[in-house]
Amino acid sequence: MDKKQLQEFISAIGSIAETALLFYRSTLAAKATPEEAMRLTQAFIAAIFYGNKNSSSTPEQ
């Protein structure tokens, strides 16, 4: 990994962190408990990293 790739990686992680914090605060603003907000944020981050791995299904319209 060269310096440019490392910088891009760090930037991407920072973007994910900022988005996750926004998501967490939004769930709290929507009257979720801190425990619920944390659990939802964990699921949100997992979805960012792992996404939908089921390639055989088609999106419903």
| 33-46 per-position pLDDT tens digit | 999 999 999 999 99
Q: Going by C-beta distance under 8 Å and a sequence separation of 6 or more, which residues neighbour residue 53?
A: none
Q: Are 16 and 7 in contact (CB under 8 A)?
A: no
pLDDT band at 48 (very low <50, low <70, confident <90, very high): very high
Most distant pair of Cα atoms in the chain: their distance: 44
Prediction pTM value: 0.76
Lookup result for tokens 């699921």:
43
Q: What percent of the chain has pLDDT over 90?
A: 80
Spell out the domain ranges in the chain. 8-49
- What pLDDT is recorded for position 38? 98
The amino acid that residue 45 corresponds to is I
Q: Are 23 and 36 in contact (CB under 8 A)?
A: no
